[in-house]
Amino acid sequence: MTAIAISGAGGRMGRTVAAAVSDEPDLDLVATFDPAHVGDVVSGTTVAGDLAALDGADVVIEWAPVEAVLEHLPAHADAGRHVVVGSSGFTAERLLDVGEAWSDAEGRLLIVPNFAIGAVLMQRFAAEAARWFAAYEVVELHHDAKADAPSGTALATAVGMAGEQRRRVESEEYVAGSRGGDVDGVRIHSVRLPGLLAHQEVILGNPGEVLTIRHDSMDRSSFIPGVLVAVRGVAGLTDPVTVGLDALLR
């Protein structure tokens, strides 16, 4: 039995994950933490406001805002906890800082931009396709309450595709930002609208052909299979810090 704790348990995703963990016979939800929801009952646990409440956990699932996660990680490292992070907003600079800080930690840290199995496969397919296409761009679409742009999935996709595109499409911008952001030469466009949840298109072009790879999450339940893979596999990872679920799906 693996003891699981959830940080950020009071949010929609935290509550969804808590319910899913509680249904698994090999997982035991032992604690929940969220300073904004202290005293709430989530899947049979009373939400605590002190990070020390997570001390009995083998694995902590972090779904707090990224700024809070960055504050929590040193305590997790000192306690030797394994940690699975689902929070978005981990830039390349933040990943570098976390990697240096966690290098001597006893526990394993897994940062997952997207837990949907289809999204992981989309990134893998996009990286393979990029070798064969002259140019490519990423369009990500999320709900209007998402706090960051671009999404962690889009950033990870762009990094995975990065390389010298054979045809870098450049246009003069009459409206600043209309060509999107540039991540290692890959343009990313972010859409935020009510009614959306989490969606992404990777569009690749060659003379005379276009390939579109698209993934859509219509419900938060799409993330649960990946979360369960992560919490069951994080302790067996070789590196102190791993980014992406792909390492557990090979």
Annotated catalytic sites, by residue? 142, 146
DSSP 240: S
Residue 213 has, within 13 A of its CA and on its CB side, a CA count of 22
d(CA 151, CA 90): 9
**At which residue do the structure tokens 């102190």 appear?**
240
Which residue in 91, 11, 107, 61 sits closest to 226, CA to CA? 61
d(CA 17, CA 7): 11
d(CA 86, CA 64): 8
Cβ neighbors of 7 (< 8 A, separation 6 or more) are 14, 33, 34, 51, 54, 60, 61, 62, 63, 64, 68, 69, 72
**Are the C-beta atoms of 135 and 169 separated by less than 8 Å?**
yes
